[in-house]
A and B are shown apart, each in its own frame.
Chain A
Amino acid sequence: MTGVAGTPETQTGMRTTGLRALLRDRPIIPLVGLLVLLVAAIAVAQPTSVTPSWAGVMIRQAIPLSLLAACQTITFLTGGIDLSVGAVASMTGFLVATLVGHQGLAAAIVIAMIAAALAGAITGIGVGVFKVHPLIMTLGMSLVVLGLANVWQLIMVQTGAGVPSELRWIGSGTFAGLVPSSLLVWLPLTAFLLFMLRRTGYGRLLYAIGDNPVAARLSGARSWQVLVVLYVISALLAGIAGFLFAGLTNVANVNLVDSFVLPSVAAAVIGGTSIMGGRGGISGTVVGALILTVLSSLLTVLGFPEAVRQVVFGAIIVAVAAAYTRVTAES
């Protein structure tokens, strides 16, 4: 997965054990192993639960999360982060649900995506041109988006809101009761992202800027343009994820996706993308999102409350980030 990112740093003279080298060069293999382990744990805790339809449910829940995590992945590559994904995704889902009655579905989706792109462009300008730290910029932007969505909610309160049936189908429907229909959205998007990161000059620029911004600038990269486009892409992805979340839960709410922001960061970190930039990729992130969904399900099966889930997720991020920092450190 990290073929592109197979940077010279992996050729340090450090003597490494097999596991370390594996984690460093092919993180996807131990990740899949971890996933299998978690599924086995659920099978032990509740033997009747692991069925094909259960797998379908897991995948259906992991798909929107993996799109949000893709936002984190591509922004991580440049050394950034996008914490506004929760607000943007909630906003697009809510906009479509409130607009669909008057405007029709297609127009509602277009309007929601334009709003998302606008938020992304402003974030990108803040990060790229004004050099605001992405974390501060995206947190501030999520306040702005959330506030505006709330104002919109007050305006629209008379008309009411309902998630259109098309979104419900794409978000929570299945083919033959098994294969989630959200794959129709997820497959092309993920293929596009894989292609973008591995095969296009733009993808290389993302790695270059994250790996060494000065070298990237000296070799002619206009980093501010790259960053503006990047945050627009990220906001659009978050917007699409918002449709899926609204369809999955059949809820249109301005806070719907907020609780998925940290898991999206966690999925990208677990997937082996470095928050410092320059290393990682989408495929690890997808496995990371699956791992978190299964882990969440395991904690539910074991009867832990939401609070414990938060603690566990936070602890996992620190632990996994520490492990990656250790195995990839040049020393």
Chain B
Amino acid sequence: MTPAAAPVAAGRGLAVGALLRRNTWSLGLLAFLFVLLAFTKLINARYDLTGIQNLGISILPLAFATVAQAIVVISGGIDLSLGALMALLSVIAAAMMKGQSEQFAVLVVVGVLLLGLVLGGVNGALAVVTRVPDIVVTLAMSFVWGGFALLVLVRPGGASAVWLKDLLAGSLFTEAIPKAAVVLVIVVAAVWIPLAPSRLGLSIYAIGSNRLAAFRSGVAVGRTRILAYVFAGLFAALGGISLTATTGIATPVPGPYTLNSVAAIVLGGVSLAGGRGGLVGPLIGVIILQLIRTDMTFLNMNTNLATVIQGVILIGVVMIGSLLELRRARA
């Protein structure tokens, strides 16, 4: 071994170590997920590949909502209108697809995705232009979007195109790979892998981490904030469409996606203060949250108690998250 080789090898070792260290939280979550899966199998011996398939489908709306929330929170904001926005986009998609041809549904899907971009942009632009805190703007907008959803459909209704349902139902190649999960991974990767290392992606992290410093290093803070909301709108549209596609109808009443997405991102290691975290952790967080709910049904738990436990998990996760942050701030 030449003298020069040693530092290189050490450097590589360091890189692996750093990679492990950077992803400790995600790896820990992954380990927890496997423990939870084993526990699920233990309490219900019949839990098998069908269960995993159902899991893949049932996480889809929350997974998209979580990706949307993660992007906004990383940029230093928060979007409390996600659940209502998803409901609005879902009822628009369902109402327009009802009684129409399969080809027309393609147009509807594209249209709803574009609308999602626009409505997300409205959220962001309002927060930037009015200088009212994101949390207030999006809370108020949640009622605006929810009201519009009720104007589109008064009661659950509409329909989904068959190809859209087929796109998400069932499995690919083997029973173990739910189609819904494949769609999720492809869509998220197609947006996030080019975005994260790009100038815009770095700007999103920068404004979330220190807005003033980002501004002074030449980041267009306002524009970047709006773009983060635009991406959130896109994923809210995907979530809305997946709601319509997986249930076959749409409901104008917002689901619990706003709060659960916040819980999932915090569980996934995204800091509510902004600027820290990624998308892998939050997505594992989504699976964990859904699996916990499945387990509660297997244990024959009263659904109301399940609501209580969900609230406790939400608070607990956020508490632990902020405790870690406090410790990090002190260190």
Contacts and interface: CB of A to CB of B under 8 A. Distances in A.
A307 B312 contact: no
Contacts of B306: 147
Interface residues of B, number: 42
B144 interface: yes
A318 interface: yes
Interface stretch (B48-56, B132-140, B190-198): B132-140
A132 B302 contact: no
A126 B148 CA distance: 34
Contacts of A321: 130, 132, 136-137, 140
Interface in B301-331: 302, 304-312, 314-315, 318-319, 322-323, 326
Nearest to B273: A133
Contacts of B310: 143, 147
Nearest to B148: A311
A310 B147 contact: yes
A150 interface: yes
Interface string A300-331: 00000111111111110110011001100100
B241 to A, nearest CB: 22
Q: SS class of chain B's interface: helix, strand, loop or mixed?
A: helix
The secondary structure that dominates the A interface is helix
B144 A151 contact: no
B150 A306 contact: yes
Interface string B72-105: 0000000010000000000000000000000000
B307 A146 contact: yes
Given A140-B311, A307-B148, A310-B146, A126 B319 contact: yes
A50 to B, nearest CB: 27
A133 B140 contact: no
Nearest to B315: A140
B16 interface: no
Interface in A113-160: 126, 130-133, 135-137, 139-144, 146-148, 150-151, 154
B139 A265 contact: yes
Given A151-B304, A308-B151, A309-B147, A318 B141 contact: yes
Most buried by A among B126, B142, B314: B314
B114 to A, nearest CB: 22
Contacts of A154: 302, 304
B272 interface: yes
Contacts of A151: 302, 304-305, 308
Given A141-B311, A144-B312, A310-B147, A132 B304 contact: no
Contacts of B139: 135, 262, 265, 317
Given A325-B132, A329-B131, A318 B137 contact: yes
A314 B81 CA distance: 11
A111 B39 CA distance: 39
A143 B307 contact: yes
Contacts of B137: 318, 321
Nearest to A329: B131
B304 to A, nearest CB: 4
B21 to A, nearest CB: 25
B298 interface: no
A131 B328 CA distance: 14
A311 B143 CA distance: 6
B140 A314 contact: yes
B259 interface: yes
A311 B144 contact: yes
B237 interface: no
B119 interface: no
A147 B304 CA distance: 5
A109 B172 CA distance: 59
B143 A137 contact: no
B262 interface: yes
Contact of B305 (A133, A147, A266, A305): A147
Given A147-B307, A315-B144, A132 B315 contact: yes
Contact of A322 (B132, B309, B318): B132
A135 B180 CA distance: 32
Contact of B144 (A130, A265, A314): A314
A188 to B, nearest CB: 31
Contacts of A136: 259, 262, 272, 314-315, 318
A276 B171 CA distance: 49
B315 A311 contact: no
Interface in B240-290: 259, 262, 272
A42 interface: no
A312 B147 CA distance: 9
Given A130-B323, A140-B315, A308-B151, A317 B308 contact: no
A143 B314 contact: yes
A269 interface: yes
Contacts of A69: none
5 shortest interchain CB distances as A-B pairs: A143-B311, A310-B147, A147-B307, A322-B130, A147-B308
11 contacts: A132-B318, A136-B259, A137-B315, A143-B259, A143-B307, A143-B311, A308-B151, A310-B150, A313-B140, A317-B140, A321-B132
Given A137-B318, A147-B308, A150-B304, 20 more contacts: A131-B322, A136-B315, A140-B315, A142-B311, A143-B307, A143-B308, A143-B314, A144-B312, A147-B310, A148-B304, A265-B139, A307-B148, A307-B150, A307-B151, A310-B147, A311-B148, A313-B143, A318-B130, A321-B140, A322-B129
